[in-house]
Amino acid sequence: MLLMLQGDKRTYSTLTEIDQMHMFEQNGIKRGGPLMMSLDPSKLYEGYDILDSFHEQHLIDLEFTVLTVYLFHIVLIC
């Protein structure tokens, strides 16, 4: 029984090309363009900037969440 359970357990290192196809289909993954082909410093700011977007995104999330809760309370009071 224990061996059967261990046999059923999937790990990341055992995934196959077919698994990859399933993940693409089931998760709605589409292929985009190239992320960045060069390390030319003058072009860096044209690329994606995850670190900055994390800061901005979280601030926006927080602001809209607070605003939504605030408006919800006003509606309740009214």
| Residues contributing to the site for another protein (CB under 8 A) | 9-13, 15-17, 19-20, 22-37, 39, 41, 44, 47-54, 57-58, 60-61, 64-65, 68-69
**Minimum Å distance from CB 78 to another protein?**
20
CA dist list (Å): 30 to 16, 37, 71: 19, 20, 37
Is there a contact between 23 and 29 (Cβ–Cβ < 8 Å)?
yes
Q: How far is the CB of 48 from another protein (least distance, A)?
A: 6
Decide: helix, strand or coil at residue 21.
Answer: helix
* Shortest Cβ 53–another protein spacing (Å): 6
